[in-house]
Amino acid sequence: LELAADLQRALIDQQFAIEYQPVVDLATSRVTAVEALVRWWRGSVFVPPEQFLGPAEDTGLIVPLGEWILREACREVAAWRAESWDIGLSLNLSARQITAPRFVETVEEALAESGLPASALTLEVIEEMLVEDAEETIKRLSELRALGVRLAIDDFGTGYASLAFLRQLPVDMIKIDPSFVSGLGKDDTLTLLTRTIVRLGHDLGLIVVAEGIERPEQLELLKQMGCTRGQGFLVARPMAARGVDSLMRTSLTV
């Protein structure tokens, strides 16, 4: 309860920040997108998202917080694109945000006011959201997709949804959970499962992103498997907007 009051104050006092983690084309190392990740500095103490996202959802504060992240990230990514840097934005969503009143309109407004094209925005959802409150969630996500916004299944392979949900909700991308990537080259079953997910995704015409790449061996195996996109500490860590600025300057001049 105390945390909830602090969260509300933190929103008013603008204690939240966004870090961006690059997603790259594994063959060329070109940055294709950045994933926005919320950060809370409570005074000088960093509070991990795992600690405050649950309470933010329970109290409903995730709705105004998520709206701030959406508008801010759209604005920043649109500014990078205005410098001729062709990158997209990936945003994580909570179930509560999607079913909140005016969610679709809010996304439309954020796109309109920032000038970010709908096709440059990818909304990441996890499989569970397509099980609980599935009908309303799928309806709204489908409306956004009809506007040109892309959809991704985050933490793919760990959820409870059956593969049939890929028919109910047209998605554009799957992001392979780090628990698979971590076993690459070390665990035969995880290596086989990763290879199978990459093939499944591509056979369905989806973009496949491997998450949590930390070791060169994982990167090598993913490339051999034909996985075209990746994310992880080996590739690039989440960074403040200033860090993305520098990355853009190096990317555009080489």
Backbone φ, ψ for residue 176 (5° rounding): -70, 125
Tell me the C-alpha distance between 115 and 85, whole Å.
14
Applying CB under 5 A, the span of 40-48, 64-72, 211-219, 230-238 interacting with Na ion comes to 211-219
Told to check if 155 binds ligand G by CB under 6 A, we report yes
Applying CB under 6 A, the span of 80-88, 143-151, 221-229, 230-238 interacting with ligand G comes to 230-238
Kindly write out the interface string for residues 25-54 of this chain, putting x where it contacts ligand G by CB under 6 A and - elsewhere.
-----------xxx---------xxx--x-
- Supply the minimum distance, in Å, between the C-beta of residue 178 and Mn ion: 10
Could you tell me if 103 and 140 are in contact, meaning their C-beta atoms sit under 8 angstroms apart?
A: yes
- Supply the minimum distance, in Å, between the C-beta of residue 198 and ligand G: 17
Residue number, nearest CB to ligand G: 232
- Supply the minimum distance, in Å, between the C-beta of residue 177 and Na ion: 6
Tell me the C-alpha distance between 235 and 219, whole Å.
9
Tell me the C-alpha distance between 56 and 143, whole Å.
25
Using CA atoms, how far residue 47 sits from 51, 98, 159, in Å, is: 7, 24, 26
Say how many residues touch ligand G, by CB under 6 A: 24
Site residues, Mn ion (CB under 5 A):
92, 124, 154
Q: Which is nearer to ligand G, 67 or 225 (CB)?
A: 67
Residue 201's nearest CA partner among 162, 169, 166, 149 is 166
Told to check if 63 binds ligand G by CB under 6 A, we report no
Told to check if 22 binds ligand G by CB under 6 A, we report no
Kindly write out the interface string for residues 134-173 of this chain, putting x where it contacts Na ion by CB under 5 A and - elsewhere.
--------------------xx------------------
3-state SS of 154-192 is EEECCCCCCCCHHHHCCCCEEEECHHHHCCCCCCHHHHH
Told to check if 211 binds Na ion by CB under 5 A, we report yes
